[in-house]
């Protein structure tokens, strides 16, 4: 039976330039088994979600103080 929800750990890093352009990379590792296979050939299989995320972004309001 499949699970309805999944919990995960996330680890990542990123960089934002002074003009607001940025990049980030994150890895997510699922903590919850999402499928419990009871097949005799696959006795100890633990299916978990995991994946990489790549973010490219540009902030419109960069919150930099303008010279007064």
Specify whether the CB–CB gap between 42 and 22 falls below 8 A. Answer: no
E-strand stretches of 1-68: 8-16, 21-30, 50-58
Q: How far is CA 17 from CA 21, 55, 57, 63, in A?
A: 5, 14, 10, 13
Residue 41: predicted pLDDT: 58
pTM, entire model? 0.61
Residue 52: predicted pLDDT: 95
Ramachandran region of residue 19, left (φ > 0), alpha (ψ -120 to 50) or beta?
A: alpha
pLDDT in tens, 13-67: 999 998 889 999 999 998 887 666 665 555 566 678 889 999 999 988 766 655 5
């Amino acid at each position: 039976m499949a699970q309805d929800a999944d919990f995960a750990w996330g680890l990542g890093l990123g960089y934002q330039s002074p003009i607001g352009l940025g990049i980030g990379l994150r890895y997510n590792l699922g903590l919850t088994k999402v499928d419990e296979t009871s097949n005799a050939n696959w006795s100890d299989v633990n299916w978990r979600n995991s994946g990489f995320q790549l973010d490219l972004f540009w902030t419109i309001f960069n919150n930099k103080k303008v010279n007064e």
